Each structure stands twice: as structure tokens, then as C-alpha cells.
Amino acid sequence: MLRIALQSKGRLNEESLGILRDSGIKVEESKRKLLSKALNYPVEVIYLRDDDIPHAVASGIADLGIVGHNEVMEKGENVKEIFKLGFGKCRLSLAIPKTENYTGLSYFNGKKVATSYPAILKRFFDSNGIDAVIEEIAGSVEIAPSIGLTDSIFDIVSSGSTLVSNGLIEVEKVLDSEAVVVAAPDMEAEKEAVVADLLFRFESVKRSRGKKYILVNIPNDKIEEALKIIPSMKSPTLLPLADKNWSAIHTVVDEDQIWDKCYQLKKIGAEDILILSLEKMIL
């Protein structure tokens, strides 16, 4: 039985359970349970705080974990990142009050910086020869400058709106992050086989995210033009229609481009465009 550590609540909880579910693994989502066995797969889930996941994996309490790359870098535990999941995307950045005049990294010499990520920040300052005072605080880092605790902050940024609403401006990005699967460096062969199967499933789910399946009818003399608008994965799937002057193209398109592509297809004479959800993509 492979044990996988997930965040018990918080930003990564839902999407971590989501990728298991979309991979065909049914897990009880009870928030109050520490452990849940999958009903149809040799996996059990242990729910932990994200801070504890790298250590749980390094010490063998769990075989795998789903956690932010930022936590892995901060904790420095002996785990390997074996898969990037494509969700929980954010960055760790330095930010200062927007009224300040930023002069480059040397601005931070002698300054106080509040953060929940002291190890990452220390490494960054050390490698750039900056001598700043790092104040470790557990939460609400963004208010530290306004209450006079520090001059600046080093924190997670996603949309940037938290910085804006606290009168701060991002000046240096230090690390990009997303949720990753971590594993202990050594694993029994039997478990390795389950991990390989699990990652195969995760890959196909990840690939299909943000994509849509499109079916479009097109006059035969417009096929070439249409294939410039919606290129296919390998070779286009072209199906003849009962009306021999028309064909259907089936392919996959990025979701954020779907309206633009449909508009262009309509303009060259396409009809009956269907957009369908994609669940898995195995290449």
C-alpha cells in the first residue's frame, strides 16, 4: 500500500484530491480523518499541514507527498521532486512600500524583511552578497511594513492584489513555484511500480487540463485554411460527411484560445462547431 500525503485543508487540498479523482482513484474526502484508503487503488491518503509534508516523506511516514515547490525548497528535507502538477502556481518575491525608491538589490542592505520563508531568502541574499535582517513571522506577512515591524517583505505572490491592497510593490522575483509530487530517495520496487502507474495517470490528466475537444464541419476547399487555424496533435483527423463537398475536423485546442479559433473558423465558412470537455490525453 502506497501512502500519499496531501494538505488537509488550504489551497492545495481540493486540487490534490481532484487530480486523484480525475485519475480514477476514489478517496474518501473526510476532512476529519487523518488517513483514508482509496476504494479501488492500492493507495492511502494521509492528511497533513503542508509544512509537515516534506519531513513526512523524507522520514518514511508517507511514500509520496503533494506540496508546493516553495515548501520543498524551504524545508530542505531529503526528498526528490518527481512530477510537476501544474496547479498551485505562484512566486516568492521581495516587495517594498510603493512610496520607496527602489535602487536594485543593494536596496536591501541593512533593511529588515518579514517572511515565512527565511531559508530561501537567506540563501538568496547570501548568494547575492546582501546583508539584510530577516524577521521570520508565521502569517499576515504583508502587513509587517505598515505596522512598522519591517521595511519590506518576502512572500508568496499570485495575482499581486494582496500586495496592492497593502501599498506594496513587487521588486524582485526569487522563485517560481507550483504543486509537485515529492518522493523519498529510495523506494521498494513494488511501490515504484505503483508510482509509475500513478504518474502516468497524473500526466494524462494534467495534459488535458486547459484543453477542449473541437469538432467542426468545413467545406473541402477550406480544409487547408482551417488546419492553419486549428493545427492537430499529429496528423489531422478528417472525416468525410454525407455531403461529399464537406468534411469534419476533430482536434484539441487550448481553452483560452477557443473563442478566437471559433471566430476565425466561422469566417472561412465553418459550420456546426462543437466544443467538448476533455478528461484525459494519452499521447
- Per rule CB under 5 A, is residue 203 in the interface with Zn ion? no
Q: Which of residues 51-110 bind Zn ion (CB under 5 A)?
A: 51
Calculated CA dihedral for residues 35, 38, 42, 44, nearest 10 degrees: -20
Q: How far is the CB of 148 from ligand PRT (least distance, A)?
A: 20
- Picked from Zn ion, ligand PRT, none, the partner binding residue 144 (CB below 5 to 8 A depending on kind) is none
Question: Which lies closer to Zn ion via its Cβ, residue 93 or residue 116?
Answer: 116
Q: Which is nearer to ligand PRT, 183 or 216 (CB)?
A: 183
Placement of cell 519531513 in the chain: 55
155 binds, among Zn ion, ligand PRT, none (CB under 5 to 8 A by kind): ligand PRT
Binding to Zn ion in span 116-175, by CB under 5 A = none
Contact between 225 and Zn ion (CB under 5 A)? no
Annotate each residue in 24-53 with x if it binds Zn ion (CB under 5 A) or - if it does not, as one string. Answer: --------------------------xx--
Rg over alpha carbons for the chain, rounded to the nearest Å, is 24
Widest CA span of the chain, in angstroms?
76
Is the distance from CB of 268 to CB of 226 less than 8 angstroms? yes
Q: The C-alpha cell of 231 is what? A: 493545427
The single residue listed with the C-alpha cell 520496487 is 189
- Which residue, 68 or 145, is less far from Zn ion as judged by CB? 68
Confirm if 42 and 194 have CB atoms less than 8 A apart.
yes
> Considering beta carbons, is residue 63 or 155 the nearer one to ligand PRT?
155
What is the DSSP code (8-state) at residue 12?
T
Residues that bind ligand PRT (CB under 6 A): 7, 10-12, 49-51, 68, 70-71, 88, 90, 155-162, 177
In sequence order, the 6+-apart residues with CB closer than 8 A to the CB of 63 are: 2, 3, 4, 57, 183, 184, 187, 191, 195
Residues near Zn ion (CB under 5 A): 50-51
